[in-house]
């Protein structure tokens, strides 16, 4: 029998590996593998999802008008320059399929978010991964990789899984040095967690240029990863393209309602951000005190460097026996590291203790 064949490059794509959520046999699982916010679903969003059940037989508002208005109000942005997606991943795919394609190169940093690679190859592009410096995107090297074929560049800021952040000034200089026909996508999935004064999520650069977009998500600090909702802020020409190609009903009734409610939840972002600012350093310090290197992070996660692949695998296995799931990042070219999400105060304590116990045992 002959099976129908996709384009050959499709079979070079490895399926995205999501953070696991269950450990068979464990009576309690601590899930620190997907950078989900530490506090679950905002109560008002939970109520909105329940109410949305009544409306689930109707198609959603294809333009997400109320949600775009709410986002625009929250961030002081023109709603006509916002497009919503089924997670920001949805929009990342649309960028690749619209601006990439055969003969059109995409550039990303070596340890950048894996969806850029998957979506880029899917679109038929060559995807160039540029080596980083100190686990931070090397903007000069990325510039040097630009050719007349380059059409799209992805930059996660802060980046997942490394946690590294680029100052707004450096990103602006990078944009200015890029050819105008290159679309720069600033993926600011973790923007709400950043406290560094040199940071800008990208709105200023989108406003100042006609060829830069910023993507955001409700999956992290807003606690709605399961609802699949993200958005981008883009120049009118890019908005026009996205509205031609995206699924006409790409954001569900429940997702739109949940996101609108989450935006109005009093103090939610402040609480998540303050918790992260307190417990990310505690997580890092605790793991460092156990004798391990932790990379600096501006996100709601840290990258723990175990030195070797064997030690990383052994630590992961030990954490699992303790009921703790973290994220292996071999697929990101970092097989000697583990990524750990900043959980609740209790979860941070548990994972720090588990790393300390692992190190005690491995010293014998």
Ligand X SMILES: *Cc1c(COP(=O)(O)O)cnc(C)c1O
Smallest gap from Cβ 80 to ligand X, in A, equals 22
Nearer to ligand X, 163 or 286 (CB): 163
Cβ-based nearer residue to ligand X, 99 or 358:
99
Element (H, E) at 97: helix 87-99
Smallest gap from residue 88 Cβ to ligand X (A): 4
Chain positions contacting ligand X, by CB under 6 A: 35, 87-89, 113, 156, 160, 187, 189, 217, 219-220, 225, 230
Q: How far is the CB of 215 from ligand X (least distance, A)?
A: 7
Nearer to ligand X, 100 or 163 (CB): 163
**Distance in Å, CB of 111 to ligand X, minimum:** 11
Which of 35, 164 has the CB closer to ligand X? 35
Q: How far is the CB of 19 from ligand X (least distance, A)?
A: 10
Nearer to ligand X, 88 or 164 (CB): 88
Distance CA 166, CA 144 (A): 18
DSSP 104: B
Question: What are phi and psi for residue 280, nearest 5 degrees?
Answer: -65, -45
Count CB-CB contacts under 10 A for residue 166.
22
d(CA 315, CA 141): 33
Q: How do beta strands 183-187 and 150-156 pair? A: parallel
Q: Residue 305: in which H helix or E strand, if any?
A: strand 301-305
The whole-angstrom separation of Cα 108 and Cα 85 is 21
Cβ atoms within 10 A of the Cβ of 245, count? 11
Tell me whether the omega of the peptide bond preceding residue 161 falls within 30 degrees of 0, making it cis. yes
Residues 6+ positions from 285 with CB-CB distance below 8 Å: none
> How does strand 105-109 pair with strand 127-130?
parallel
Residue nearest to ligand X (CB): 87
Q: Measured from the CB atom, is 35 or 211 closer to ligand X? A: 35
Q: Provide, rounded to whole angstroms, the least separation between the CB of residue 2 and ligand X.
A: 35
Give the CA angle between residues 158, 190, 353 to the nearest 5°.
90
Q: Please state the closest distance from residue 33 (CB atom) to ligand X, in A.
A: 12
Residue 278, phi then psi, degrees to nearest 5: -85, -45
The helices-and-strands tally (H runs, E runs) of the chain is: 12, 13
Cα end-to-end span (Å), the chain? 56
Rounded least distance, CB 234 to ligand X, Å: 16
Nearer to ligand X, 160 or 284 (CB): 160
Instruction: Closer to ligand X by CB, 215 or 284: give it.
Output: 215
Q: CB of 193: closest distance to ligand X in angstroms?
A: 11
Instruction: Compute the C-alpha angle 181/154/295, nearest 5°.
Output: 150
Output 89 or 305, the one with its CB closest to ligand X. Answer: 89
The answer for 228, left when phi > 0, alpha when psi is -120 to 50, beta otherwise, is left
- What are the backbone angles phi and psi of residue 358, rounded to the nearest 5°? -60, -45
């Amino acid at each position: 029998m002959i099976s129908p064949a996709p384009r050959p490059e499709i079979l070079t794509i490895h399926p995205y590996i999501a953070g696991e959520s269950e450990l068979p046999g464990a009576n309690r699982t601590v899930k620190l593998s997907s950078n989900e916010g530490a506090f679950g679903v905002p109560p008002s969003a939970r109520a909105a999802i329940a109410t949305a059940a009544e409306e689930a037989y109707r198609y959603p508002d294809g333009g997400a008008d109320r949600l775009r208005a709410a986002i625009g109000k929250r961030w002081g942005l023109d709603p006509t320059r916002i497009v919503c997606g089924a997670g920001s991943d949805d929009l990342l795919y649309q960028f690749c399929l619209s601006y990439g394609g055969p003969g059109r190169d995409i550039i990303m940093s070596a340890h950048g978010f894996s969806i850029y690679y998957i979506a880029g190859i899917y679109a038929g592009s060559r995807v160039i991964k540029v080596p980083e410096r100190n686990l931070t995107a090397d903007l000069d090297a990325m510039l040097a990789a630009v050719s007349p074929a380059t059409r799209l560049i992805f930059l996660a800021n802060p980046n997942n899984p490394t946690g590294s952040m680029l100052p707004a000034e450096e990103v602006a200089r990078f944009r200015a040095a890029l050819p105008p026909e290159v679309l720069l996508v600033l993926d600011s999935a973790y923007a709400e967690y950043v406290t560094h004064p040199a940071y800008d999520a990208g709105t200023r650069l989108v406003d100042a240029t006609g060829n830069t977009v910023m993507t955001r998500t409700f999956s992290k600090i807003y606690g709605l990863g399961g609802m699949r909702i993200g958005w981008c802020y883009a120049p009118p020409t890019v908005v026009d393209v996205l509205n031609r190609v995206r699924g006409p009903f790409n954001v569900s009734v429940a997702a739109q309602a949940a996101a609108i409610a989450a935006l109005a939840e009093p103090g939610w972002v402040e609480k998540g951000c303050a918790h992260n600012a307190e417990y990310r350093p505690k997580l890092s310090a605790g793991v460092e005190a156990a004798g391990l290197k932790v990379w600096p992070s501006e996100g709601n996660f840290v990258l723990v460097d175990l030195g070797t692949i064997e030690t990383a695998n052994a630590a992961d296995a030990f954490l699992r026996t303790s009921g703790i799931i973290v994220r292996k990042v071999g697929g990101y070219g970092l097989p000697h590291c583990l990524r750990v999400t900043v959980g609740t105060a209790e979860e941070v304590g548990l994972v720090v203790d588990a790393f300390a116990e692992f190190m005690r045992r491995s010293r014998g």
